Amino acid sequence: MMARNHQIWDCVRDYLTQNPEATYTELLDWLKTHGVRLSYRALQCKAKRWERKGWIGIERRGAPPTAYLALPEKRANRPDMLAQKSSNSLAMRVARKWGVSVRTMYRAFRFSKTMLQIQAHYPDACTVIHTHREQLRGVVNLLPLIPMRLIPFVAKRVAAGETSLTRIVRELLHDETLRSQLTAEERMRLCKGVGRRRPSQAQEVYELARHLSALSEALEKICAIGSQTDNRELLHYAQKAQYDLTCIIEKWV
């Protein structure tokens, strides 16, 4: 993967060295001639990463956006458009000391700040989240996006055994009672945070989870009936179905 990223960057750098500016479509055509096939979205993500590193600049005021080389030795390309960030800033020094990226460091800071706010407003909820943090997936990315007034609901779901904050957020988004407590901006932020899915896709996943949950409850009742009537065959098939359903939930929900 690393070698492929270097290959893509080398091709893009060569093209931008020969041409002062290039659109994403032109870069995709150039990469295709060198045996590299990318989607428009994939190249856009890579271009944003290169921009953060200071390798290229992106002019977004036009349509379509254009990229230009912004390496120090190529400053003659667009000297008026380049604003280089200091590589010796406090954030960079702290991140370098920790051995992480600046983005990861800020993400950790934001999570710590959120936990302090929860500790101040809902100490019991803070204890629950802190206790289950190791088993809770998506907590660093999603917890800061959840409004503080809904933290007690999150803590209640975590205490009940929920191990995915993503599923809790989907429940917040699609349960009518909970959804009514969210502003439009909060809903959009949560939709974007849940795997960057569109609301329609998130709705489909939520519906799947709801149906699987109902099926799980039905199988539990069947197992109870099998035990009460001493119907071993029914109990065997119901328990097997429960196991298969658990595998489906762990993989797809």
> Is residue 56 exposed (0-12), middle (13-18) or buried (19+ Cβ within 10 Å)?
buried
Query: What single-letter DSSP state applies at residue 180?
Result: T
**Buried b / exposed e along 93-111 (16+ C-beta atoms within 10 A):** eebeeeeeeeeebeeeeeb
Quick one: pLDDT at residue 83?
Answer: 44
Q: Where are the domains of the chain?
A: 2-74, 112-196, 202-252
Nearest to 21 by CA among 70, 93, 80, 86: 70
132 within 8 A of 122, measured Cβ to Cβ: no
Nearest to 165 by CA among 187, 204, 191, 194: 194
61 confidence band (pLDDT: 50, 70, 90): confident
Tell me the CATH number for domain 2-74.
1.10.10.10
Bridge partners, 56 (sequence order): 69
Quick one: pLDDT at residue 75?
Answer: 41
Answer yes or no: is pLDDT of 253 > 80: no
66 confidence band (pLDDT: 50, 70, 90): confident
Separation CA 3–CA 67 (nearest Å): 22
Answer yes or no: is pLDDT of 198 > 80: no
Average pLDDT in the 73-100 region? 56
15 within 8 A of 67, measured Cβ to Cβ: no
Both tokens of 173, joined, read 């988004």
The per-residue DSSP string of 10-54 comes to: HHHHHHHHHSS-EEHHHHHHHHHHTT----HHHHHHHHHHHHHHT
172 within 8 A of 179, measured Cβ to Cβ: yes
List C-alpha distances in Å: 102 to 52, 56, 105, 109.
Answer: 11, 19, 5, 11
Quick one: pLDDT at residue 112?
Answer: 85
> Is residue 155 exposed (0-12), middle (13-18) or buried (19+ Cβ within 10 Å)?
buried
CB atoms within 10 A of CB 62: 9
Please report, rounded to a whole number, the percentage of residues in the chain having pLDDT higher than 70: 81
> Is residue 61 exposed (0-12), middle (13-18) or buried (19+ Cβ within 10 Å)?
exposed
Quick one: pLDDT at residue 79?
Answer: 40
CB atoms within 10 A of CB 89: 11
